[in-house]
Amino acid sequence: MRTLMLDEPAEPNQAIVWSDGRLLLLDQRVLPAEERYVELTDARQTATAIREMVVRGAPAIGITAAYGVVLSAMQHGADWRARLPADIDTLAASRPTAVNLFWALKRMQAVADSVADADAVRALLAEARAIHSQDLLANRLMGDLGAQLIEGPTCVITHCNAGALATGGYGTALGVVRSAHAQGRIEHVYADETRPWLQGTRLTAWELDRDGIPVSVIADGAAAARMAAGGVGWVIVGSDRIAANGDVANK
């Protein structure tokens, strides 16, 4: 695993890139001070990158793990079928709380079980790319549906990061913000700092600024006061679970 410095500014929707048999991840640990990619060439490196938070966000983790399965098949050659189960177990153990991780690995395992050895890498790569592209399409649809609910123009508050960096691109909660801003429904975003990892400060604010969406970072404890001051119509957040009554929970 090695790092690659960039000659041009990084784009939020290019946080996960498959290129010439390599997986490149925009290193979220060093944003926004540095913009660099981590190059991965096998499944164990991919698991380490997930565990060490080079990539985070359940959809992005699932996509990354899917590409990690492809790297496993490429690395092991003719012995790929015997070696794949151990690599899948390693990937599964990298983030036990990420639901998308296990969902993506199950899809990749199904392809591995049904494909001929000669077609393994091609078929697995096609499935990983499908997982990636389907997530991006779902993000855009979610963004458009969510934007329709917002009566604007107004300001919103966000917490943590559920944007392009946490997904296959565009974002879930932040996808709603992107779509609503494009439609003139959102004027300004207040991003909670999100302690202790500061995803709001380091990631959400970076994404929105890169996209030209007005954003201010506020302390986590200031959100209630900011809402009480008026002008904030919505709080838009990602969640790990959503109950039937609309309650949300995030670890």
Just list the catalytic residues.
240
Cα–Cα distance for residue pair 155/181, rounded to 1 Å: 10
Specify burial of residue 100 (Cβ count, 10 A radius: 0-12, 13-18, 19+).
buried
Strands 154-159 vs 186-192: parallel, antiparallel or unpaired: parallel
Of 168, 138, 154, nearest to 214 by C-alpha is 154
Q: Label the pairing between strands 36-40 and 22-26.
A: antiparallel
- Three-state SS at 183: coil
Residue 175 near residue 146, CB atoms below 8 Å = yes
